[in-house]
């Protein structure tokens, strides 16, 4: 899996599968006005993942949040 964030024609952020901790699954990428939110499943018994801090919902875990500038988008 590869997630890219672009600002016009410039690649601003790229997450490759090998950069994701073993046992973690990336599933979706959402875009708001000021954030890129990457959801999925943390590895089992991940003591570093805090649902309250990350803003997880009842159906998705938030794994990463990135602030974005104008014109950035998920691919």
pLDDT for 68 equals: 73
More confident of the two residues 52 and 18: 52
Summarize pLDDT for 21-75 with one digit per residue, the tens.
778 888 888 888 888 888 888 888 888 899 999 999 888 899 888 887 655 555 5
Q: What is the 3-state secondary structure (H, E, C) of the chain?
A: CEEEEEECCEEEEEEEHHHCCCCCEEEEEEECCCEEEEEEECCCCCCCCCHHHHCCCCCCEEEEEEECCCCEEEC
Instruction: Answer with the residue of higher pLDDT: 26 or 7.
Output: 26
Q: Where are the domains of the chain?
A: 2-74
Q: What is the pLDDT of residue 69?
A: 67
The pLDDT score that the predictor gives to residue 10 is 75
Contact call for residues 3 and 14 (beta carbons, < 8 A): yes
- pTM metric for this prediction: 0.67
Q: What is the distance, to the nearest Å, from the Cα of residue 27 to the centroid of all Cα atoms in its chain? A: 9
């Amino acid at each position: 899996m590869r997630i890219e964030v672009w600002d016009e024609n410039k690649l601003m952020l790229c997450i490759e599968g090998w950069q994701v901790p073993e046992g973690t699954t990336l599933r979706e990428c959402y875009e708001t006005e000021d954030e890129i939110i990457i959801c999925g499943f943390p590895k089992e018994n991940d003591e570093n993942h805090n649902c309250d801090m990350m803003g997880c919902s009842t159906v998705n875990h938030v794994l990463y949040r990135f602030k974005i500038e104008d014109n950035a988008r998920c691919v």
